[in-house]
Amino acid sequence: MTNTPILLTIAVLGGTGKEGKGLAYRWAKAGYHIHIGSRDQAKAQAAATEVMNLLDGDAAVEGLSNLEAAQKADIVALTVPYAAHASTLESVKDALKGKILIDVTVPLVPPKVATVQMPAAGSAAQEAQQILGEQVQVCAAFQNISHEHLLTDEEVECDVLVTGTSKEARAETIKLVEAAGLTGWDAGPLENSVVIEGLTSVLIGINKKYGSTHAGIKITGVAGE
């Protein structure tokens, strides 16, 4: 458990997908109040019910529109497909002012999802910073974690690299990584997110070649703090 206040509220925008529901489950289990956001509030409510059922009702999870979820949250995680990345950010831009955005998005471009294809901004996280401006702290994290792990209680053999616009924002994000039962590493400024996001395509290619579904990364040779 971390020293983050237990009443901290987290919005998971695009939280009806597997990655979003997995993070919502892990954070709700750790005691956080979760708002699952979606363009379709009915889908958000269904996802919230699914997470609540996994936790036998012993959690605080509700489904809202993306905008309502962002407005009510202290910290916001974005887990939408890249095709919806910019439009979702534009729709909640004002609600994110003064907050931390944890961008989980990977700029995958079907059908060549095993090929690294980065946007003009450099990475999805850098694109988010351009859209949101300096009033929002942006971090990138969780891109290399298979969603298959998150909706279970199993130990995940994959580390989380965290980049961001400030040391303070990265530290807060790492607290949430640890609250989700994972190991987080400060991987430096947001510009480094290009490497982390690109690794996802590499891992997808490894999965395809070697018949796996959850290739990951592990940092070695460094003593934890």
Taken in order of first residue, the domains within the chain and their CATH numbers are 9-210 (3.40.50.720)
**pLDDT of 223 strictly over 90:** no
pLDDT at 4: 46
pLDDT at 225: 53
The DSSP string of the chain is --SS-TT-EEEEETTTSHHHHHHHHHHHHTT-EEEEEESSHHHHHHHHHHHHHHTTT-SEEEEEEHHHHHHH-SEEEE---GGGHHHHHHHHTGGGTTSEEEE------TT-TTS----TTSSHHHHHHHHH-TTSEEEE--TTS-HHHHTS-SPP---EEEEESSHHHHHHHHHHHHHTT--EEEEEEGGGHHHHHHHHHHHHHHHHHHT-S-------S----
Q: pTM of the full predicted structure?
A: 0.94
**pLDDT of 158 strictly over 60:** yes
